[in-house]
Structure 1
Amino acid sequence: MTPTTTTATTTTTAEAVAPAATRARVGWGDLLWLTWRQHRWTVGGTAAIAVGLSALALGVAWHVEATGHARHSLLFDEYTYDSVARALALAPLMTGVLVAVFWAAPLLAREYEQRTHLVVWTQDLTPVRWLTGKVVLLGAAAAGLSAGLGAAVVVLLNTVNAHSAAGQRFGSFDSDAFEVVPHVQVGYALFGFALGLALSAVTRRTVLSMGLSFGVFFVVRGLVASLWRPYYATPLRTAMPFDPVAGGSSGDVWPGVDHLVVDVGYLNAAGAEVEVSHTACATPNSGPEEYGRCLADQGVVQLFVDHHPPDRVVPFQLVELGVYTAFAAGLLVLTFWWVKRMHRV
């Protein structure tokens, strides 16, 4: 009898292993929305001020255009439309420092002080992604608000110039008229934002970064305007005959209000600059004729003025935009590098 072998087949069903739970990566849309939610009051408040000032500038410009002159009194006799225009021209000049001090300077410093960066910068959200979202949204908002306010004030200044009975009130190279145009305002806003952000990252102190942003912003603006702007191009030189009797020029060729005067001085017969001693000639009892003859005795035969004509205004403004954009780019690179480096420590 042949034994029968029964083979039992055991079917083993492997239990399905549940996949490890992973957290979705924070998308750029979510990051921008969170940035807006966090800073909406700062951006909205600044936007309300900018819109209000723009409406005032356009309203004054409309009334000047409608009446045909800019000397209407407002409330009190000492306040006129052209004085209001000069005051409003200062508003866009403050936009960049406002962005630096109140938008950017607290941005990183507050996270460090409150230790919230330890929670925010997790594996799902790196410091670079977090910072990029802030820069994109807030930087674009700052540039847009600055450009819009600048455009409104430009309309006002041009209208006042066109209807001013006393002649042009705002020269093209005047600091307020030169700096208020939208493209230059964008450069100032980007520089202010990048400056405040860099100081916020380096100092990690809110009040300190705000104070430094305020001071450094105006120091840089002053140095660029006084030391760099007059030499974005080689100045033109205009020479005029020197009249010893009048103590000055005998010709009427002095550059007008639309020119940027870089330097004035004296030339001798060979066309070389002459260093004169004004103290020796300007005695208490000397009049214009004695003063002029004293200068002539020192070899002066011509006056000269180095200047930039008004057709260089727009190229100079574009150069200034490039200067401040380069500053902003360098400061942003420093900020990203600093934050990434310190996060690893």
Structure 2
Amino acid sequence: MRRSFYRLDCSVLSALLDLLKQRGYSLLGPQVCGNAIRWKPLEQLADLPAGLTARLAPSEYRLQDGTNGGFFQHPGGLDSIKPILHPPRQTITTIRKAGDQLEVVQETPPSIKRAFLGIPACELAAVAALDRVLLQNGEADEVYSANRSEAFFIAVHCTHSAPTCFCASMGTGPRARTGFDIALTERLDGEHPEFLAEAGSSLGTRFLEEANAPPAPPEWARQSNEATQRAAEGQTRKVNRQAVREVIENTFDHPRWEQTAKRCLSCGNCTSSCPTCFCVNYEEQSSLDLSVAQRVRVWDSCFTHSFSYIHGGSIRLTPKSRFRQWVSHKLARWHDQFGVTGCVGCGRCIVWCPAGIDITEEFAVLEQAASPLITAGGSPHGH
């Protein structure tokens, strides 16, 4: 579809949010929760973290005052929207005993209309990746489908990059290209924020028209592109995504895996914070009087010892093997399975690793080691 551009001040943006609520959408947006920015139910624009940003570094996240009063000048928050679309804990089946009778209830969640305000480009790419895994990879996941089917996405093009961002090298940002209903570029030239709104779907266009959003000045679209390009050029971390498969295949036995594994705590923070990690396990639970039993689905992590357990024991017994599995799958094997990258360059795994392990630094070491083999056309190990 041909993109249309609109000019939104705070009153028009508020009117847009009111329209969404009138149409039955539950609003969610980034808000301060404790000492972090998280996705929470949104009532009004004043709930957004105006004037706040965050200092991000390996194993560091600190909220701090920004240099302006913008609503969306903070980098990615504590969590992505993955826990909302793909909950960390979900009851699948409940069995109740009443006398000699058993009642079996399949806990299929109802579809929920949610509107997300302020999604960065990397998170939209993560949603697209989860769509490939949980909707388009054979039988659709009922829980994810129910949470995803009526989602309305209002993206925000990033005009500033955090030190831990590397979305530009992954081709997933800072500018959102697809997957949104409306995309905003925040402008801070005047006393109050204004927004360039770009319609990405017919539904997005309809809401902008109903909110009486006026057309944007012609130069705003060009200025938006220039701002996101500067944000991309300002990123210092990167991964050579064109070389990832060959690098991983040619460094299976490289000593770097063991060196980094000595720092890894196998805590699973990286998989929990990653917006595309999707693995789950199932637990059977019952009440003390045995009148109720439930099957519950919970997030799992490939960093746990039990994750690779089959009859006879676990396959990946060491932190080295588990760390190598995660990096290899995230950067390379996703392409083989799903045709898209498993890493969107959001940098959350860098921030939330208590040991400060940086996936871009690890890849740079491996890429340097693999370069002579790749240049010489060396054969991969085939593991």
Scaled by the length of structure 2, the TM-score of the pair is 0.21
Normalising by structure 1, we get a TM-score of 0.22
Task: Determine which structure has the larger strand proportion and give its number.
Answer: 2
